Amino acid sequence: MAGTRAEPVSPLEEPLEVPAKRRRGWWIPGVLLLVALLAFVFSRHAEEKQFLELLRQARPAWLLVAVAFQVGTYLCVAAIWWVVLHRARLRVSLWALARLSLMKLAFDQVIPTGGVGGSVLVGRGLRREGASPGTAAGAVLLTVLCFYIAQALGVGASLFFLWRESELNEWIPWLVTGFGALAVVIPLAILWVTRHREWTPGRFTKRIPSLGTMLKAIAEVPPGMLLDPGLLVRGVVLQLGVYALDAATLGAMLRAMGQEVPMSTVIVAFMVASMAETVSIIPGGVGTYEAVSVGMLNLLGVPVEAALAGTMLLRGFTLWLPLLPGLYLLRRILRHRPVTGGQTG
């Protein structure tokens, strides 16, 4: 397993880059948008009272169900990496990989790098589990590909539902255009770089922390890994599982407040809001996600106060609560120097 000969340091083992202070202000627009949304609802006294009453009457049993759903999402993400490591004949605990997915969420929410920094962190974590640089980078990139493929499938199904119900708004095509560009450009760019390993990243990569590191790591991915049908199918199914469990979490939040909303409505609202989060430049889609989720749920017949309460509870469970254990684990792992040994090849 551990090599004894001197080897060049893998790009995944280079120090993680932290963005300049000016980039940390990317949170501000999202916070302002979220405050504006809350102010809009609370400005209408009746809905403010109903919103607070719904939160007071929330049934704890459904909140526990939501916790179980969220644990399942981390296991699904971890399972994608586990499948890749299993292909490389490495035995790794699924729970250890789930902790890694929790750390990635914390890193991506605290440090705005468009998810790149968190991906490098995952690569380093997989290296510690014994994966070669190529296998670690391949696992990270496969996750990105599966994310966009699965989201495109979910968004496509949601748009068909909205079209069938004659509920397509004029702003949805703008979201679809932005998402469609990302869903095509990013996977194609990844595949292009894996086929042109001699390509050298330009100065533009320095504008996004850790992007240069990630691009250099792509060159180490084993040929054919990212287009392996077995890996892609299993990865997409697991990523769809993440979306299904997240949507089920939103449904559980609404049930906790006594709202029996059809699952089709919950899934469509969740997928459209997730699409808005993907195209948003704000870390975590703060403000953007909440506004779109509340708007879609209300459009599909859910009272605005219930839509807001359900969305805020969902974001608390998927974004804010995981930050505490995630940051704790992240602090521990960043204290240690990366391991340079591991599987070769």
User: Which secondary-structure segment (H or E) carries 127?
Assistant: helix 116-128
**pLDDT of 210-237, one tens digit each?**
566 666 767 778 878 888 999 999 999 9
Radius of gyration, CA atoms only, the chain: 21
For residue 285, what are its two tokens?
Answer: 């889609």
> Which range, 60-64, 286-290, 320-324, is most confident?
60-64
Going by pLDDT thresholds of 50, 70 and 90, the confidence category of residue 180 is confident
Give percent above pLDDT 90 in the chain.
28
Q: Report pLDDT for 296.
A: 92
Annotated domain spans of the chain: 56-334
Torsion angle, CA of 266/268/270/271, rounded to 10 degrees? Answer: 160
Q: What is the average pLDDT across 272-282? A: 84
Q: Is residue 271 scored above 90 in pLDDT?
A: yes
Q: Report pLDDT for 341.
A: 45
Among all chains, which residue has been given the structure tokens 């922390």?
209
**Structure pTM?**
0.81
Q: By three-state DSSP, how is residue 141 classified?
A: helix
Distance CA 189, CA 191 (A): 5
**pLDDT of 71-99, one tens digit each?**
999 999 999 999 999 998 999 999 999 99
Torsion angle, CA of 235/130/115/227, rounded to 10 degrees? Answer: -40
Q: What is the mean pLDDT of the chain?
A: 79
Best CA proximity match to 41, nearest among 308, 273, 311, 310: 308
In angstroms, the Cα distances linking 264 to 64, 73, 76, 219, 269 are 22, 19, 22, 41, 9
Q: Report pLDDT for 144.
A: 87
Best CA proximity match to 138, nearest among 220, 62, 69: 220
**pLDDT of 99-152, one tens digit each?**
999 988 877 776 655 556 677 788 888 988 888 888 998 998 899 899 999 999
In this structure, of 14-23, 88-97, 126-135, 259-268, the range with the lowest mean pLDDT score is 14-23
Phi, psi of 342 (to 5 degrees): 115, -175
> Which range, 42-56, 108-122, 162-176, is most confident?
162-176
Q: Is residue 283 scored above 90 in pLDDT?
A: no
